[in-house]
């Protein structure tokens, strides 16, 4: 039988600590809430009051329950008030010496059976535990912010944490309505170890002027369905906190350069640009603590002004290819009012593509998302052809053929001869260098990448890839076309993976390495990222959907270009692909899908 905790203590009443107090008090547990001084105590009390009042206003908490919750909380200055609690959770700033001092004092104050827990997100629980005479009763209980809302708790055991202490804490998490994942004491645990490598990479992308902050954030929200973009999330976490976590993980986690804080991060922290809490980070906020972003000197010009910057008029569009992507792109352009010339290799393929477009448009009608008249008008704008010569009078060509450089280069050389001057030639490649394709023509200034996401009619994102030879007019035209299609176009340089894949796949690869090291299970890692970070899918779910062979190919491309040891494909991923375990399409990947 797990022990019953009747009174718990919480040390440190910042956002996190006050949130943990609320979680316990909401679940009928008496709480002793402790701070270092009277003013700090009052701030903590105000944070708790504000949170519970908001919950009442939103109808998520009855006024009587709020009042009962507050009656369960006893506020006190100094650790001596914790002499009779059954469990203490420390939630002070992420400084090891500070935490060690507090634990040494808690060891003296608390009764011998009390469990001492830290909410650290990056420091060694083991190093904290040795400041006490009872390291077997010390454990990590890592809540996620905001604690009353987020479901995940990482329970971190050290090599000496007693099994009954782990069992008692797991039972407590269930009582609190949380999902717990129990793991060993390793830098960053699950969620932060995977999240912060990705966040740091995004900062590096911004630092090198590869893409704007708005485009990086939009790409990850729209391309991956994430609740926030990485730079906005850094502002929310606090750049000082993020720096400390990365620095600790770098030093404790084998000095992986993925976790070495990008220099810009240290500069911003030194300059006091800490994110939302200081009113300025990657973005500028209405006032310190406010979530409302206001324009600043880095805010892009109004969309209309930017799009008018030399964008060419586009009326007629050619789409080359007969696969799923080409079919989706034809539909997108036709629905947006463009005349479309579809070119495939042979009329048989044209008939297949035509049938696929009709089927998709009919589905839109059946679902009530498209009027019959609009469907008929869209189909009326498409002409079907098996010869590239029919692209002689188009204003834009979008190539969506097989991902083989030799095929694309041959096609672009032909387009160069056939198309009139000033036509924008776009490739939908997701992995090949756009410049290689551009140099197959005598007009590299007119060549851009237009990377649509699958399925093109649904996904709102397009990556506009400019090479070092792409003209500003061609880029402006591509952006204007994306806007006319109702898509968000994000502009980036011609580097492997562009924005989305370059940030997404190293994170997935890190998750595979974590599984490979037997640190945690695929289920727990997926739970951690979905419940702790709000991701729509866990990394292993996503890998099985994307296909392990596709994921491995992308990761290899990234590694070959960047030569960063941390980007080397995880051996486990390579072994699964060799064994033919490719994910859902093969009915077996990281999970068995044969019964689904």
Active site (catalytic) residues: 121, 142, 154, 192
Instruction: Report CA-CA distances (Å) from 258 to 199, 200, 559, 567.
Output: 10, 7, 13, 9
Residues paired with residue 359 on neighbouring β-strands, in sequence order:
none
Structure tokens at 340: 């479309």
CA 496-498-501 angle, to 5 degrees, is: 90
From 29, 7, 20, select the one nearest 144 (Cα to Cα).
20
Half-sphere exposure of 262 (CA within 13 A, CB side): 20
Length of the chain: 596
Beta-strand pair 179-184/152-157: parallel
Which spans in 298-423 are helix H? Answer: 303-307, 324-335, 347-366, 372-380, 405-418
Q: How many other CB atoms are there within 10 angstroms of residue 346's CB atom? A: 11
Distance between CA 481 and CA 489 in Å, rounded?
9
Angle at which helices 38-57 and 63-71 pack, to 10 degrees?
160
Structure tokens at 302: 């109004």
From 495, 596, 590, 595, select the one nearest 551 (Cα to Cα).
590
Determine contact, residues 185/140, Cβ cutoff 8 Å. Answer: yes
Determine contact, residues 500/205, Cβ cutoff 8 Å. Answer: no
Class of residue 571 by CB neighbours under 10 A (exposed 0-12, middle 13-18, buried 19+): exposed
Determine contact, residues 79/104, Cβ cutoff 8 Å. Answer: no
| DSSP single-letter state for residue 280 | B
Distance between CA 223 and CA 216 in Å, rounded?
10
Instruction: Report CA-CA distances (Å) from 276 to 6, 166, 291.
Output: 36, 36, 7
Kindly write down the DSSP assignment for every residue of 351-374, as one continuous string: HHHHHHHHHHHHHHHHTTSS-HHH
| DSSP single-letter state for residue 82 | G
Structure tokens at 464: 């506009």
**75: Cβ contacts below 8 Å, ≥ 6 apart:** 33, 34, 35, 41, 44, 45
Instruction: Report CA-CA distances (Å) from 423 to 1, 315, 327.
Output: 74, 11, 21
């Amino acid at each position: 039988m797990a022990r019953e905790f009747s009174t718990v203590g919480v040390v440190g009443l910042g956002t996190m600590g006050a949130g943990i107090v609320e979680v316990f008090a909401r679940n009928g547990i008496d709480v002793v809430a402790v701070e270092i001084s009277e003013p700090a105590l009052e701030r903590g009390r105000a944070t708790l009051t504000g949170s519970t009042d908001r919950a009442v206003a939103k109808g998520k908490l009855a006024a009587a329950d709020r009042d009962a919750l507050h009656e369960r909380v006893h506020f006190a200055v100094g650790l001596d008030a914790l002499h009779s609690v059954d469990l203490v959770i420390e939630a002070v700033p992420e400084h090891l010496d500070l935490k060690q001092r507090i634990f040494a004092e808690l060891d003296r104050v608390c009764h011998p059976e009390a469990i001492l827990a830290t909410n650290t997100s990056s420091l060694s629980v083991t190093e904290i535990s040795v400041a006490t005479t009872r390291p077997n009763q010390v454990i990590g209980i890592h809540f996620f912010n905001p604690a009353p809302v987020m479901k995940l708790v990482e329970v971190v055991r050290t090599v000496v944490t007693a099994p009954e202490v782990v069992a008692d804490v797991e039972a407590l998490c269930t009582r609190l309505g949380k999902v717990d994942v129990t793991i060993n004491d390793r830098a960053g645990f699950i969620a932060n170890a995977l999240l912060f490598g990705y966040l740091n990479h995004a900062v590096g992308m911004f630092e090198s002027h590869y893409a704007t902050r708005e485009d990086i954030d939009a790409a990850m929200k729209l391309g991956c369905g994430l609740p926030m973009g990485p730079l906005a999330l850094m502002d929310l976490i606090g750049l000082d906190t993020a720096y400390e976590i990365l620095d600790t993980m770098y030093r404790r986690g084998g000095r992986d350069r993925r976790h070495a804080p990008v220099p810009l991060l240290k500069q911003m922290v030194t300059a006091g640009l800490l994110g939302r809490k200081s009113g300025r980070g990657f973005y500028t906020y209405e006032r310190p603590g406010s979530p409302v972003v206001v324009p600043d000197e880095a805010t892009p010009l109004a969309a209309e002004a930017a799009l008018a910057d030399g964008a060419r008029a586009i009326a007629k569009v050619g789409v080359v290819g007969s696969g799923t992507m080409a079919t989706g792109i034809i539909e997108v352009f036709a629905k947006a009012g463009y005349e479309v010339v579809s070119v495939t290799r042979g009329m048989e393929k044209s008939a297949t593509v035509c049938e696929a477009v009709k089927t998709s448009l009919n589905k839109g009608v059946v679902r009530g998302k498209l009027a019959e008249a609009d469907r008929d008008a869209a189909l009326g704008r498409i002409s079907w052809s098996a010869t590239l010569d029919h692209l002689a009078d188009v204003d834009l060509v979008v190539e969506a053929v097989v991902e083989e450089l030799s095929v694309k280069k041959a096609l672009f050389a032909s387009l160069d001869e056939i198309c009139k001057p000033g036509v924008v030639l776009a490739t939908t490649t997701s992995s090949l260098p756009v410049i290689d394709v551009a140099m197959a023509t005598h007009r590299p200034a007119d060549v851009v990448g237009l990377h649509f996401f699958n399925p093109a009619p649904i996904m709102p994102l397009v990556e506009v890839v400019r090479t070092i030879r792409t003209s500003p007019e061609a880029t402006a035209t591509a952006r204007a076309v994306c806007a006319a299609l109702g898509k968000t176009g994000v502009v980036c340089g011609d580097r492997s993976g562009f924005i989305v894949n370059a940030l997404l796949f190293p994170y997935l690869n890190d998750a595979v390495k974590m599984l490979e090291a037997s640190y945690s299970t695929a289920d727990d890692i997926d739970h951690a990222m979905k419940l702790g970070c709000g991701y729509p899918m866990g990394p292993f779910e996503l890998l099985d959907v994307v296909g392990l062979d596709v994921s491995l190919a992308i990761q290899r491309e990234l590694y070959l270009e960047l030569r960063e040891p941390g980007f080397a494909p995880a051996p486990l991923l390579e072994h699964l692909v060799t064994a033919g375990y490719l994910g859902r399409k093969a009915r077996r990947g990281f999970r068995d899908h044969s019964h689904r």
